[in-house]
A and B are shown apart, each in its own frame.
Chain A
Amino acid sequence: MAFVSTPTSVSAVMLKVLFALVPAIAVYQLYFGPAILVSIVLASVTAIVAEALMLRLRGFPIRPFLLDGSALVTAWLLALSMPPLAPWWLIVLATLFAIVVAKHLYGGLGNNLFNPAMVGYAVMLISFPAQMTQWPTLTTLAQAHLSFADTLHYIFSGTLPVSLKLDALTMATPLDTLRTQLLLGRGVSDISNMPVFGYVGGKGGEFLALAYLAGGAYLLQQRLISWHIPVAFIAALSLLALGFHAYDAARYATPWFQLASGGAMLGAFFIATDPVTGATTPKGKIIFGAGIGLLVFVIRTWGGYPDGVAFAVLILNMCVPLIDAYTQPRVFGHGERKS
């Protein structure tokens, strides 16, 4: 084997991913309050404890695997996907499920078939739909003046200051609003004037999307991810949205709205690009990314859930072995593949 190597490591890769999430966390905190910091801490602690326990149970050396940082990345991505005012047990349960079941029971780092963060998220969404859809909005939060102490108190005890009611604090997300209002027969442009919407996406959420985009650009620049998956994801989602929006602007939202809301940007740059559970060949990555983009649009538009990133990612995770097998690139000195 080579006596020299690049000064890279799994830890360095994971640290850079965490670093790339910092702008998004800053924006998140700015718009939706300090709850996200609590969520991140909760998820991180749970992830590290669960990871250490599982490593011990499986007889693996704890130090090198804990230091690889992959559990922290899962924790942060999960925290960013969960509703900001989620009760503590929801975060802990989601993280436990992600680390214990989705990661370690499937063989640990490098062997899991499904994106752990998305498994944790999807299981919570199915099991606790009420808690998982309680999103505070910028408008309500601004009116509520929820302090850090109030936030902590709510997350751990589930009780709010007497002056506040949960109903007053949480509202349907922009994607949810669009969905329900469309069902009520209102037009897209009409709906977009509701207070929950900002310039192109949800109020606040659109800046969060920009922050994810910035983090993704950093990952691309550092060559930690290749362009294939995010570009294919975004292209598929926006082309579909564009097509349908052009066909009937009253019933289908703009591509801008699709990209700026929900988990689109987080999914494109941070979730779908998870190397362990994604496709590996260049063509395969394009199919994988485009498949997720397509499914996100389908689930958002016609499915039973307001956002579909988690399910789209998990479904495409299932297809990875097949995609990889059929997209092997031409090897040097070989003719074009016959099969």
Chain B
Amino acid sequence: MRTLYQFHGGVHPAEHKQESSAHPIVMAPLPTQLIVPLQQHIGQRAKPLVQIGDRVLKGQMIGQADGATSCAVHAPTSGSVSAIEMMPMPHPSSLPDLCISITPDGADEWITRTALDYQNMNPGEVRNRLRDFGLAGLGGAVFPSHVKLNPGKLDKVPTLILNGAECEPWITCDDLLMRERAAEIIAGAKIMQYLLSADAVLIGIEDNKPQAIAAMRAACAATGFEVIAVPTRYPSGGAKQLTKILTGKEPPSGGRSTDIGVQIFNVATAYSVARAVLHGEPMISRIVTVTGNVEQPRNYEVLLGTPVKELVALTGKQRNDTQSYIMGGPMMGFALPTDNVPVIKASNCLIASSPSLFPAPPPALPCIRCTQCAQACPVNLQPQDLYWFSRGREFGKAQEYNLFDCIECGCCDYVCPSHIPLVQYYRFAKSEIWAREREKQQADLARERHEFRLARIEREKKERADKLAAKTQGSKAPAANADIDPKKAAIQAAIERAKLKRSGVTPKNVENLSVETLKEIDEIEARRTQLKQAMEKQSDSPK
């Protein structure tokens, strides 16, 4: 039995898992239109590869990874490209981003799919293929997987963790995936283990999912992988929290989990890795929980790009009191401003929200410093202090009190008796600090440019003045300065050369040089000798 470690704080909200977990995964039918954003991952947006009117096949790459932290985007079904334009994204303020719209032709015709013989491939090549398969973390952060699967300078990452905790209330997509497709998750884990040269593979699942635990244990037989039931306590599924629970080690603040020899992936990402490597299928679909105020809460396997509106319509007749759809869970998710946005790689759950399910909190009262939040904080911050500093715009203080260690899990919001939207204050403070940082950088850059410009103008002015002075002087009194009289100088130089010749030392390669240059060389030589003497003197003196 493995010793489990505890993280500080945490909360246990009502789970609401059984609503959607009682039914098997349903394949969502082809939607009428697919809107595929080119930015579904952290990092650089993919570059579009198709043009309007092109016919694309299911699984065809339509957006190419752009840079190291980026990954490809694919056509979820066969059809024709109907638009490439800015479309609202599933985002708290539905910011638009570049999307490729595809009208399905109904044939659902695949590209040629070939499995990778990954064990006989260069790991770098496997990672590039994963990037081209569009692999990004499905746990919510959608970080390109090929980057995380690179041990980098380290030879290996000793511990690979699969995150099947799924600690947010309402969400059951990972639960269902583990119940139904455990074998392929484990197959994916093996590929990940190979790429990271990991010794141990730990799979953490909250103990409120006994069926998933049983299925995963069965699939792990004879693999040496360890399925570990962890206590149900939000946010045990936070990458850092799960790492702590399973290994006792804490990923350093501001660092990476690989710093402590751990890499962590969501179980659904492992599943997608297996589909990609063993079946040649790029990431074009994911499991999405649709639950809340709907007639038939279910988990659907949904093509990425399916409009939310069409997906939720599958659950039955829309209820009148549904006010919005929450993407993600009720702790960290956000209300979609419109249902006219696509399902993306990050969309694990859609909750139809109604006033009775999620009543608006009463008006916020002042903080009474009761420290319920500090007791609930899984990062052991002092949320009441951070709130005070954020509200008072003391951003330096907030940073000093480790504002940037906040994972925005919402535990403090959840327990606050004054109903203060604490996380919003932290986001506000963070964005203000980022904005100031950017402004400062820009100001520094502008100042440097300005100073450089002033210096340049000054230099040019001086050069012009010098030139002018030389010109006027040269025309008025050409013979006044003996030094620049070419005849005398030439004679002088000749005498010196003769002197040198007599002393037996001849400067090399000076035959074709002008008088001025020769003089310059002489001057430099004189300075060098002086310096040399000075240095010799210095080295002689006692230290």
Contact = CB atoms under 8 A, between A and B. Distances in A.
Interface of A: 1-6, 8-10, 12-13, 64-65, 68, 70, 108-111, 224, 226, 275-276, 278, 280-281, 324, 328-335
Contacts of B250: 332-333
B379 to A, nearest CB: 4
A331 B405 CA distance: 8
A328 B362 contact: no
Contact of A330 (B244, B380, B416): B380
Contact of B369 (A1, A64, A276, A334): A276
Interface residues of B, number: 57
B204 interface: no
A331 B380 contact: yes
Contacts, number: 125
Nearest to A335: B252
Interface in B215-260: 240, 244, 250-255
A2 B410 contact: yes
Contacts of B433: none
19 contacts: A1-B424, A2-B330, A2-B423, A6-B11, A6-B415, A10-B418, A13-B368, A13-B417, A64-B363, A110-B369, A226-B371, A275-B370, A275-B371, A329-B382, A332-B7, A332-B380, A333-B254, A333-B379, A334-B405
Contact of A10 (B368, B380, B422): B368
B151 interface: no
B39 interface: no
Nearest to B373: A280
Contacts of A226: 371, 375
The prevalent SS among residues of B at the interface is loop
A240 to B, nearest CB: 27
Residue from the set A3, A70, A276, A329 with the largest chain B CB neighbour count within 10 Å: A3
A177 to B, nearest CB: 38
| For the complex of A and B, 5 pairs with smallest distance between CB atoms | A110-B366, A2-B410, A333-B253, A2-B413, A1-B421
A211 to B, nearest CB: 24
The prevalent SS among residues of A at the interface is loop
A13 B370 contact: yes
Nearest to A13: B417
A330 B419 CA distance: 26
Interface in B362-392: 362-363, 365-372, 374-375, 378-382, 384-385
Interface in B317-333: 326, 330-333
Contact of A9 (B8, B255, B362, B375): B362
A4 B370 contact: no
B342 to A, nearest CB: 22
Interface string B386-410: 0000000000000001100100001
Contacts of A334: 252-253, 402, 405
Contacts of B251: 333
Contacts of A331: 253, 379-381, 402, 405
A186 B415 CA distance: 54
Contacts of A328: 382, 401
B385 A333 contact: no
Contacts of A109: 365-366, 368
Given A8-B415, A331-B405, A3 B358 contact: yes
Contacts of B7: 332
B13 interface: yes
B382 A281 contact: yes
A276 B253 contact: no
B374 A280 contact: yes
B316 interface: no
B369 A5 contact: no
Interface string B122-147: 00000000000000000000000000
B432 to A, nearest CB: 17
A65 B366 CA distance: 9
Contacts of A329: 380, 382
A64 B363 CA distance: 8
Contacts of A10: 365, 368, 417-418
B48 interface: no
A9 B417 contact: yes
A331 B402 CA distance: 8
Contacts of B374: 280-281
Contacts of B358: 3-4
A333 B251 CA distance: 5
B14 interface: yes
B150 to A, nearest CB: 22
Given A10-B368, A110-B368, A4 B169 contact: yes
Nearest to B406: A331
B365 A108 contact: no
